[in-house]
Amino acid sequence: MREFRQQFPFFDTSTPSIYFDNAATTQKPQCVIDAIEHANIQQSANVHRSSYQLAASVTDAYEAARNNVAALINAPSARNIFWSKGATESLNLIAHGLGELCLAEHAMWQGDEIIILTSEHHANILPWQQLASKLSHFKSLRITPVSPDFNGNYDYAVLRAAITNNTAIVAVAHVSNALGCVHPVAAITQWAHQHNALCIVDGTQAIAHIPVDVQALHCDAYVGSSHKMFGPTGVGFGYATHALLDALPPYQVGGEMIEYVSFDEVRFQSYPLKFEAGTPNISGVLGMGMAANFVLQHQAMIIQSEHVLMQYLLGQLTVLNDELAVTTEIGLASTNNIIIIIGAQNPERISLCSFVLNGISHYDVLRLLDKDNIALRVGHHCAMPLMQHLGIDGTIRVSLCAYNTDTEIDGFIAALRSAIKRLVSSDDVIANSRAFDTSSVAFSASTPIGDQFAALQGYDVVFRQIMLSSKACPLLSEQYHTADYHVAGCEVDVWLGQFAGQFYGFANSKIIKGLLAILLEKANTLTPSQRTRFDFTEYLAQLGVSHHLSQSRVDGLSRVIARLSA
Ligand code: PMP
């Protein structure tokens, strides 16, 4: 395993010290980096256009990469693989093409319903929604989501029962990026086919973690992104059966996808080239081909290591949970399960664990973990409908890869423990927060909030003051936590309202609430015309709190500021 990790130069650098965001993108091994560099230096010629030696050899390499991806997913031939920008584009291409087949009343399209899972990535929701709206003048198409229970666990009998003769398409992820569960795609395909429906599979999160055999799955299409499987960004693939590829029309038109063009007639190439208009991402494809080889070569080890890592992580989370539950000194009731894993009962899972912390904003945890150089993702993970179904605004997602280590998990658990204690203790008297030197911090109800930052120095002290300030936020009552008062674009839900000239706000995150308290206090002392001229961003900078904002949170708060200044 150490040898495996050593192939990734990323780990030679120290920032971030722990990378647990592999579901967002994986690191690249040296062989992939070399392949991309080699492509850019020695293989810079266009493909499928010229027959001089260099161009021909690049075309050969480009097609060899197609073979590699076909081999990785056991496609019957490389012709079944088309290149794209990534899974998103592949899904858009397929949905668009299927829409055309529907309009043409092609025999492959039967029914008026598209079944998806509630936990699908937006990339496997939006193309179908758009399709339904595009076809609305022609056909009334229903998008039917099948949901897990309220803890994120699926009962596939519900999915099976939902598929009927009205079903045209079943579009599911092989592995959920938000829950980590592996859906039984072979069975789902069988259920779909029993009703003459097509089964389209989003394999983005599967390919680097479990063996994929599209022939055994019998699915009609399967898509993936290179950057989730050790390859470069901006490139991906789609697989489809010969019958589907033959039937699907081109997605874009232009160079290289034609056989003949005149002003009277156009004949397209056959697949896969008919889906590859324009000059492709050649170095990306070559890098992806290398990545596909890399996965195949290390697959057994990857699966074994990730299983062991995941068991270790789950074990350590349980230990931490038990420890926190009895730690009454940090103010938790002993019956509380503070760490709640979402979808823990799903029968098969990859090394991805999504959890929420009872009563603690995932966003506040992220800020503290980020300070410890731990990279992981919190939020809705591009699966907003799932979060709505679960009644939460996001999860903390740890997505492990075979190059991660037990030591990193230990480091993460230690940082999580410390973050939880710190966030919980900020509700209590300052003395509870022993681990941090916050002796200079206190909150005074009679002093303006902004003034209380004046003499503060250092991350911990300022952090603590922000947390204390959160209690002074003029709270927007719950009845106004509606779309009308929602501030779009923040990384956590923020609501803002103005009544009788005074602003009120709300956010679950204490950090955001603290920052709102600072901003609203100021805004509420200014006249409308003073507010439009006041530089709230500069004000936050002057108070020394700006570095407690991530870039995107600055963007988010800038929406709040825009409303205050309006
Ligand atoms: N599907 C799933 C399950 C994903 O996890 C992702 C990326 N998070 C996508 C689709 C979209 O992939 P890309 O952004 O590479 O197109």
Atom of ligand 1 at shortest range from CA of 228? 15
Tell me the mean pLDDT in the region 366-391: 93
Please report the pLDDT score of residue 340 as a whole number.
Answer: 94
Distances (CA, A) of 338 to 84, 184, 326, 387, 413: 42, 31, 11, 18, 14
> What H or E segment, with its residue span, contains residue 497?
strand 494-499
**Residue 539 covered by a domain:** yes
Q: Which of 292, 405, 550, 416 is nearest to 11 (CA)?
A: 405
Atom of ligand 1 at shortest range from CA of 227? 15
Q: Which of 97, 373, 396 is nearest to 247 (CA)?
A: 97
CA distance 504 to 98: 48
Choose one of 176, 185, 204 to mutate for the ligand 1 pocket test, by most ligand atoms within 8 angstroms of C-beta: 204
The residues that bridge with 172 in the sheet, in sequence order, are 201
Q: In terms of domains, do 82 and 216 share one?
A: yes
Atom of ligand 1 at shortest range from CA of 236? 15
Q: Which amino acid is at 97?
A: G
Q: In terms of domains, do 457 and 405 share one?
A: no
**Residue 402 covered by a domain:** yes
Q: In terms of domains, do 229 and 314 share one?
A: no
CA 224 to ligand 1 centroid distance, Å: 8
CA 186 to ligand 1 centroid distance, Å: 21
Q: In terms of domains, do 181 and 43 share one?
A: yes
Choose one of 22, 88, 117, 401 to mutate for the ligand 1 pocket test, by most ligand atoms within 8 angstroms of C-beta: 88
CA 121 to ligand 1 centroid distance, Å: 7
CA 30 to ligand 1 centroid distance, Å: 23
**Residue 62 covered by a domain:** yes
Distances (CA, A) of 89 to 76, 202, 222: 22, 11, 12
Q: DSSP class of residue 475?
A: B
- Give this prediction's pTM: 0.91
Choose one of 126, 128, 177 to mutate for the ligand 1 pocket test, by most ligand atoms within 8 angstroms of C-beta: 177
Contact 17, 370 (CB under 8 A): no
Locus of tokens 């056909």 = 139
Please report the pLDDT score of residue 442 as a whole number.
Answer: 62
**Residue 432 covered by a domain:** no
Q: In terms of domains, do 380 and 513 share one?
A: no
Q: In terms of domains, do 220 and 129 share one?
A: yes
* pLDDT tops 90 at residue 545: no
Domain-ending residue, one of 265, 293, 321: 293
**Residue 190 covered by a domain:** yes
**Residue 73 covered by a domain:** yes
Q: Which residues' Cβ are closer than 6 Å to ligand 1?
A: 86-88, 121, 123-124, 173, 177, 202, 204-205, 225, 382
Domain-ending residue, one of 242, 272, 293: 293
Mean pLDDT of the chain: 90
Could you tell me the CATH number of the domain that includes residue 381? 3.90.1150.10
CA 123 to ligand 1 centroid distance, Å: 6
CA 468 to ligand 1 centroid distance, Å: 38
For every residue of 172-197, DSSP letters joined together read EESB-TTT-BBP-HHHHHHHHHHTT-
Distant-in-sequence, close-in-space partners of 414: CB < 8 Å, separation ≥ 6: none
Could you tell me the CATH number of the domain that includes residue 130? 3.40.640.10
Q: Lowest-pLDDT range, 79-93, 295-309, 429-443? A: 429-443
Tell me the mean pLDDT in the region 164-179: 98
Q: In terms of domains, do 264 and 120 share one?
A: yes
Q: Lowest-pLDDT range, 103-107, 266-270, 308-312, 438-442? A: 438-442
* pLDDT tops 90 at residue 424: no
> What H or E segment, with its residue span, contains residue 170?
strand 167-173
Tell me the two tokens of residue 78.
């490389």
Q: Which of 177, 173, 205, 122 is nearest to 377 (CA)?
A: 177
Please report the pLDDT score of residue 554 as a whole number.
Answer: 55
Q: In terms of domains, do 260 and 309 share one?
A: no
CA distance 460 to 462: 6
Q: In terms of domains, do 391 and 531 share one?
A: no
Choose one of 228, 233, 380, 399 to mutate for the ligand 1 pocket test, by most ligand atoms within 8 angstroms of C-beta: 228
Q: In terms of domains, do 506 and 520 share one?
A: yes
Classified as helix, coil or strand, 117 is strand
**Residue 433 covered by a domain:** no
Q: Lowest-pLDDT range, 108-122, 130-144, 324-338, 485-499? A: 324-338
CA 226 to ligand 1 centroid distance, Å: 10
CA 158 to ligand 1 centroid distance, Å: 25
Please report the pLDDT score of residue 548 as a whole number.
Answer: 66
Peptide bond into 448 cis (omega under 30): no
Domain-ending residue, one of 363, 395, 423: 423
Tell me the mean pLDDT in the region 102-108: 95
**Residue 71 covered by a domain:** yes
The catalytic residues are: 382
Q: In terms of domains, do 262 and 378 share one?
A: no
Choose one of 25, 209, 354, 382 to mutate for the ligand 1 pocket test, by most ligand atoms within 8 angstroms of C-beta: 382
Tell me the two tokens of residue 394.
């996001």
Q: Lowest-pLDDT range, 90-94, 211-215, 392-396? A: 392-396
Could you tell me the CATH number of the domain that includes residue 493? 3.90.1010.10
Tell me the mean pLDDT in the region 13-40: 92
Confidence band for 48, pLDDT divided at 50, 70 and 90: confident
Please report the pLDDT score of residue 333 as a whole number.
Answer: 44
Q: Could you report how far apart the first and last alpha carbons of the chain are, in Å?
A: 56
Residue nearest to atom 5 of ligand 1 (CA): 177
Distances (CA, A) of 519 to 104, 361, 364, 472: 57, 20, 18, 11
CA 225 to ligand 1 centroid distance, Å: 7
Q: What is the pLDDT of residues 177-207, one digit of tens each?
A: 999 999 999 999 999 999 999 999 999 999 9
Please report the pLDDT score of residue 431 as a whole number.
Answer: 32
Q: In terms of domains, do 401 and 451 share one?
A: no
Please report the pLDDT score of residue 251 as a whole number.
Answer: 95
Q: What is the pLDDT of residues 452-489, one digit of tens each?
A: 887 787 778 888 888 889 988 999 999 999 999 998 87
Tell me the mean pLDDT in the region 523-527: 91
Distant-in-sequence, close-in-space partners of 27: CB < 8 Å, separation ≥ 6: 8, 10, 11, 19, 230, 401, 403
Atom of ligand 1 at shortest range from CA of 24? 8
Classified as helix, coil or strand, 19 is strand
For every residue of 280-299, DSSP letters joined together read --HHHHHHHHHHHHHHHHHH
CA 93 to ligand 1 centroid distance, Å: 14
Residue numbers of the domain that contains 71: 30-293
Please report the pLDDT score of residue 256 as a whole number.
Answer: 86
Please report the pLDDT score of residue 439 as a whole number.
Answer: 47
Share of the chain above pLDDT 90, in %: 74
Q: How many domains does the chain have?
A: 3
For every residue of 502-525, DSSP letters joined together read EEEEEESSHHHHHHHHHHHHHHHH
